[in-house]
Amino acid sequence: MSYELIRSGTQIDFVRYARPAAILSLLLVLASLAAAPVMGVRLGIDFAGGTELQVNFTGAEPVDEGRIRSAVGGIIDADSVVRFGGADSREYLIRFKGSPGEKGETVDQIMATLRASIGEAREDRVEFVGPKVGEELRGAGLQALAIAGLLVLIYIGFRFTPRFAPGAVAAVLHDVLVTSGFFVLMGMEFDLRVLAALLAIVGYSLNDTIIVYDRIRENMELRGKQDLPEVINRSINQTLGRTLLTSGTTLVAVLALLFLGGEVIRPFAVAMVVGIVVGTYSSIYIAAPILLLMERWRGTGRGASATPPPRAKAARA
């Protein structure tokens, strides 16, 4: 006996809640767009420029983020101090705006202060990103997201029809904007890790949308378009089990990264958690309803005359 997460024959009326879902999505997107100029966007050193210093405390003295931040507070304004590795690791990343100083004098001063305040420490790595390089990385990141959206539009139009593409692109933009807005509202930094997560979310959201769209196309060929809302509801219900299983298993893996992966991977994991949730939601309540609107706009939705389904024409022949 096979296991079914969603029983066959389940008939949830998703289209019925499309309007409230659209209002919710619109509010989330507007809040995300408004948060950026009101609260400001915190850029990591990857995009704003700055220095990252990796320090390994080799002594037995107790050490934590608070002690490090207090020790170096008189030298630099540390944007973040995070543990590098597991909970028992004694390696930390210290990030601050500005350069390491001429001939590394700032780094040398930080290391001397840490040794005097906490204990034996070793400088493992120093990386510096200049403001110009950070600006170039920021522009390249936005360009990558724009190109990804364009490729989504082309791919959906090629695989299905151009009428399917707007819903897929709207779902992807919705997911990226809501995830980005979450980071702004929470005051979290944007860096290359978050950008990598956003690009992964684009692919994840697109994959989920394609599964739903593929089943909608199959059912449209079988039943025609006379009652497109029913076709969309049937298609979403038929793919719901697969959607929940895929999202659930992916979410478990990402939650493991979030809680066990340490501070270094946490921004990526947080973005992925938010993206998986909104990506699953948008495939159902953004992509599919926009397809319905596009078909109605073309005059082939409910109440409009439509061509008979292919099988019906073959039977009459």
pLDDT of residue 156: 77
pLDDT over 90, % of the chain: 38
Number of domains in the chain: 2
Angle at 67 between CA 78 and CA 83, to 5 degrees: 70
Gap between the Cα atoms of 274 and 84, Å rounded: 23
For the segment 127-153, the average pLDDT, to the nearest whole number, is: 82
Give the count of beta carbons closer than 10 Å to the beta carbon of residue 266: 16
1, part of any domain: no
117, part of any domain: yes
Gap between the Cα atoms of 191 and 196, Å rounded: 9
Residues 118 and 164 in one domain: no
Which residue among 129, 145, 164 closes a domain?
129
- Condensed to tens digits (0 to 9), the pLDDT of residues 73-121 reads 888 887 788 888 777 889 999 988 877 776 578 899 999 999 999 999 9
For the cut 80, the answer to whether the pLDDT of residue 68 exceeds it is yes
- Condensed to tens digits (0 to 9), the pLDDT of residues 162-192 reads 788 888 889 989 999 999 999 999 989 888 8
For the segment 12-30, the average pLDDT, to the nearest whole number, is: 93
Which residue among 67, 94, 129 closes a domain?
129
Which residue among 71, 100, 129 closes a domain?
129
The range of the structural domain enclosing residue 115 comes to: 50-129
- CATH number, domain with residue 69: 3.30.70.3400
In this prediction, residue 1 has a pLDDT band, given cuts at 50, 70 and 90, of very low
